Amino acid sequence: ETGVTQTPRHLVMGMTNKKSLKCEQHLGHNAMYWYKQSAKKPLELMFVYNFKEQTENNSVPSRFSPECPNSSHLFLHLHTLQPEDSALYLCASSQTLADYNEQFFGPGTRLTVL
């Protein structure tokens, strides 16, 4: 495996379900990110981790809970979601948080909340 991988690619869940999204990067990067992408809207940064430590939480509702056990893995735990949470959830990584570092994105998880 190379680059940034995400599983599952598609997820349909009810509002009472609990599920988790997984992201893994094989690039040796130290920073990882969760984004939400809704149709025709800008990417919304949700969480940032640097060397496994959370550095940003952009006022994300508590029904989204991130976990970063090591620099290569990132999880997003979901519970009691709302239909408006349906979106593409993208994971990304970068070498560091430095301004010139590009971010490498995974293919995303298409989430549908019924």
Binding footprint of other proteins on the chain (CB under 8 A): 4, 40-45, 56, 90, 97-100, 102-108
Query: CB of residue 105 vs other proteins: minimum separation in angstroms?
Result: 4
Query: CB of residue 11 vs other proteins: minimum separation in angstroms?
Result: 15
Residue 16 vs 28, nearer CB to other proteins: 28
Residue 14 vs 57, nearer CB to other proteins: 57
Beta bridge partners of 44: 36
Query: CB of residue 16 vs other proteins: minimum separation in angstroms?
Result: 29
Residue 42 vs 69, nearer CB to other proteins: 42
